[in-house]
């Protein structure tokens, strides 16, 4: 029941498990289902400070972000641009976009100005 390595194909594989979601389930819906099943559990520990966030907290903040994106008039045809360092609240922004079915384009702020312009020039974020 462990993992196997195929040296010819250079692929690791594990046991096949029954899927718990429909194959066309969105990332947002998958997150929402998982969060609701694990509301009281810790979902994230922000390593630099040790701050813990529960699934419930992240889900609630993500729903607020999804509503915010909808109020801005964003749709699945738009892109949300995120240029941010890792922070405790970053997951809520990302999952909020996923819950709203809005694609994201993420960048680390260590990119120089030209790099940011280049990537966002390609992805054309609306927000």
Confidence (pTM): 0.80
The pLDDT score that the predictor gives to residue 28 is 93
- Name the burial class of residue 19, with classes exposed (0-12), middle (13-18) and buried (19+) by CB atoms within 10 angstroms of its CB: exposed
The pLDDT score that the predictor gives to residue 48 is 93
12 in a structural domain: no
The pLDDT score that the predictor gives to residue 127 is 67
Cβ proximity of 82 and 105 under 8 Å:
yes
Could you say which residues of the chain have pLDDT below 70? Answer: 1, 127
- Residue range(s) defining the domain that contains residue 84: 26-123
The pLDDT score that the predictor gives to residue 87 is 93
Q: What is the CATH number of the domain that holds 30?
A: 3.40.50.980
5 in a structural domain: no
pLDDT digits over 55-78, tens only? Answer: 999 999 999 999 999 999 999 999
The pLDDT score that the predictor gives to residue 71 is 97
The tally of domains found in the chain comes to 1
2 in a structural domain: no
11 in a structural domain: no
């Amino acid at each position: 029941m462990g993992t196997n390595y195929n040296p010819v194909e250079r692929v690791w594989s594990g046991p096949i498990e029954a899927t718990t979601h429909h194959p066309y389930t969105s990332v947002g819906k998958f997150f929402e289902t998982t969060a609701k099943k694990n509301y009281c559990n810790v979902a994230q520990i922000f390593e630099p400070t040790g701050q813990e966030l529960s699934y419930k907290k992240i889900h609630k903040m993500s729903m607020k972000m999804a509503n915010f994106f909808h109020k801005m008039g964003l749709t699945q045809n738009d892109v949300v641009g995120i240029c941010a360092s890792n922070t405790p609240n970053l997951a809520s922004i990302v999952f909020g976009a996923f819950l709203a079915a809005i694609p994201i384009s993420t960048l680390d702020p260590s990119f120089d100005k030209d790099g940011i312009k280049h990537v966002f020039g390609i992805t054309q974020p609306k927000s």
